[in-house]
Amino acid sequence: MLTARPVSVALLYPGDRAARDRSDPAESRFAALFTAFAAAGVAAEPAVYHDDFADEVAAQLRGVDAVLVWCNPVEAGRRRDRLDAVLREAAQAGVFVSTHPDTILRLGTKDVLVDTRDLPFGGDAVRVDSLDALAAGLPDRLRHGARVLKQYRGHSGIGVWRVERVEASPLLRVQHALRGSAEERIDLSTLLQRMAPYFEAANGGHMIDQAWQPLMVDGMVRAYLVEDRVTGFGHQAINALYPARAGEAAPTPGPRLYHGADLPRFQALKRLLETQWIAQLQQRLGLTRAQLPMLWDCDFLPGEPTDDQPERFVLCEINVSSVSPFPPSSIEPLVEAVKARIMLRTG
């Protein structure tokens, strides 16, 4: 008698040779997800990844139905170029990839802030294509308030800078969002030297300049989604870029608190995302529902209210490359969605 082989999925995340040789689900940060897949009758296996053994991982992926990927675009001097090639090859061979590299380029870079600036969740954002353009345009924009300069791709606050004029002075107040960074007072020339590497072709060749949101002190809201369904929230009470008060040290980021999708405080945001904003985002970027990531998140800052929007949310960034950690409430919907997508593809 022939028996159907179990549906199989690989969980891909970075690690060294020793971690790959062990390939122990229990020691990974996705232990609960491995357990949930097993309970759903899905065979889940670790696919520990490093560029040094990319070919080995590529061979592994040819033997599974789907791969869920957690790998930052830029980390420890490495990029995702080799991994993206592996994932494209896997997708072409019929393996379902949780977020295709082409979707990441449309959805998961800071360019999305410019692409959506006129949508209800958008804000004042400008694409700056050269260091000369930054030098020419930034001083005028700063006359209207603080700005946040963001590199094309990144994570953990790397390459995100708050810039503000110092009254009656040629100096600028500058703060890097990387944890542990201190506010500095520097001139425009020094700032341009700092920003120069982000304009190199290897780093995307441009930056995004977005207006500062003064209500950031109220915290950043992270909406976690599985495809087009909100599955949880994260809320961080204090952001790293919030400036210090006179005579005080800058506040440090508080812990991100995780909540289920039913948290009353953010039900209005959930409704907007599920009934309007995700569809508007798809239409603007030319993405079908099938091209949406399996697991992704949208970061929103509280915007200044208007007559039409007494409670405003302004998009800060979208994360699709390495969405972890995530609230426990996202696990069951993620497993269900992956299983349904595999069944649809395999019949």
DSSP-derived secondary structure for 108-119: SSTHHHHHTTTS
Residue whose token pair is 């959930």: 270
Using a cut of 0.75, tell me whether the model's pTM lies above it.
yes
Alpha helices in 196-310 (DSSP H): 267-272, 278-285
3-class secondary structure, 151: strand
Tens digit of each residue's pLDDT, the chain (347 residues): 344 567 999 999 999 999 999 999 999 999 999 999 999 999 999 999 999 999 999 999 999 999 999 998 877 777 889 999 999 999 999 999 999 999 999 999 999 999 999 999 999 999 999 999 999 999 999 999 999 999 999 877 889 999 999 999 999 999 998 877 888 999 999 999 999 999 999 899 999 999 999 887 778 899 999 999 999 999 986 566 776 666 666 666 677 889 999 999 999 999 999 999 999 999 999 999 999 999 999 999 998 888 877 889 999 999 999 999 999 999 999 999 999 999 887 76
Q: Which residues contact 18 (CB under 8 A, 6 or more apart)?
A: none
